[in-house]
Amino acid sequence: MNEKKRLDQPAESDAIHWVEINRNAAERALHVRDTCRAAVAKSGDKLVVATNAILRAAALVSALFVLTYSFSFAAGEQKSEPAAPADITASAVAAPDAAGVVDPHRALLLRAMFARDVTRRLNVPAAAQQEYGQRLQTALEQNQLGNLSGEYVVLVDRNANVQALFIYFRATPSDKWLMIGASPVATGRPGEFDHFITPLGVFEHTPDNMDFRAEGTMNENGIRGYGKRDMRIFDLGWAQGERGWGKGGMSQMRFQMHATDPDRLEPLLGVRHSKGCVRIPASLNVFLDHYGILDAEYEALVESGKPLWVLHSDRQVTPWAGRYIVVVDSERKARPAWSPAPGSKARAKVPAAGDTAD
């Protein structure tokens, strides 16, 4: 039941050969140059001087294109809303080299799959990506995890003006954290009974607090609080949360990350609206679940011989599965353009008493 497709096996037909891509780009540039020369040869000597200048400029542009493409990938640069190559597959992400070694930097190839599979995405500028990477590192250092590397980490900004989730990765402790992708979320909204402010900190996703799956049934308010059937609830156990009602204060709350009603509440992602948990888009829920982004400890349990019904048999876990969800508050005073708030049409879909559902 818990068999899964291993992504660290050779997959020659699926491997992405970036050197070949650069070679093809260079060949296309040379073809354009030769075509221009042939056309100019028919125009006479009067155009020779101008044409030579044009050809030199074209060659320079072509070279810069190839070099920029190469260095951008090598540095793990995140393009805004990258288009996923049509032929990219999950097995290509963790394909080993000829020596059977999987380069950890290939974990960044998951960006293209995120762009292809996750429908609710945020176009985070490079400067903001670096800023949140540093926030992540600071939070990890405060929890004696400053050298964490080689695994995916989920970061959530609970700030009312942001409400965003980011997936990060770095290959070694000396590397900077690089963003895989980002999506809008909804965290705890204070002001009503039993509504907590989402707690800050580093939370470990472990089978000690076993996940479960949504039944897809509606509550008395016509809301599917955990989303449609089979959505995974990432259970982080009991946590100390700040009460958002009465005189405030701290008390225990069950901290989870999960999908929400796809028709009524998912359009509201981007503003605080939960009872303390982190609500995420359904497509992101499937992405985290299918690729085992946070399943390092779950997979270790399966490898030890214990079957887990909550894990799908067709999941495809990479060698870089993680286990940490980090919640921060950026304390932003204004909403950034890259994290827009939902419009009035989204709010109109919420039924009476829908604000009390989690």
The beta strand positions in 52-193, using DSSP E, are 153-157, 164-169, 178-184
Asked whether 178 and 168 are in contact (CB, 8 A), the reply is yes
Determine which of 65-69, 114-118, 140-144, 335-339 has the lowest per-residue pLDDT on average.
65-69
Nearest to 293 by CA among 180, 210, 142, 215: 180
Whether the per-residue pLDDT at 23 is higher than 60: the answer is no
Distances in Å between the alpha carbon of 97 and those of 76, 218, 263? 19, 49, 44
Whether the per-residue pLDDT at 84 is higher than 70: the answer is no
Dihedrals phi, psi of 315, to nearest 5 degrees:
-65, 155
Neighbours of 16 (CB within 10 A): 17
Taking 3-state DSSP, the helix, strand and coil percentages for the chain, each rounded to the nearest 5, stand at 35, 15, 50
* Helix segments in 81-124, DSSP class H: 90-93, 110-117
Q: What is the pLDDT of residues 217-268, one digit of tens each?
A: 998 888 999 999 999 999 999 999 999 999 999 999 999 999 999 998 999 9
Rounded Cα gap, residues 124 and 183, in angstroms: 10
Per-residue pLDDT at 222: 86
Whether the per-residue pLDDT at 67 is higher than 80: the answer is no
Amino acid at 141: E
Q: What is the DSSP string of 17-57?
A: -HHHHHHHHHHHHHHHHHHHHHHHHTT-GGGHHHHHHHHHH
Helices (H) and strands (E) in the chain, counts: 8, 10
Whether the per-residue pLDDT at 79 is higher than 60: the answer is no
Strands 212-213, 164-169: pairing is: unpaired
Rounded Cα gap, residues 122 and 108, in angstroms: 17
Q: In this predicted model, which residue has the larger pLDDT, 43 or 325?
A: 325
- Domain layout of the chain by residue ranges: 18-74, 104-356
The model's pTM: 0.78
Taking the CA atoms of the chain, what radius of gyration do you get in angstroms?
24
Mean of the pLDDT values across residues 278-293? Answer: 97
For residue 291, what are the contacts with CB-CB under 8 A and spacing of at least 6? 90, 110, 113, 315, 316, 317, 318
The architecture (CATH level 2) of 104-356 comes to Beta Barrel (2.40)
Q: What is the pLDDT of residues 100-129, one digit of tens each?
A: 888 999 999 999 999 999 999 999 999 999
Whether the per-residue pLDDT at 39 is higher than 80: the answer is no
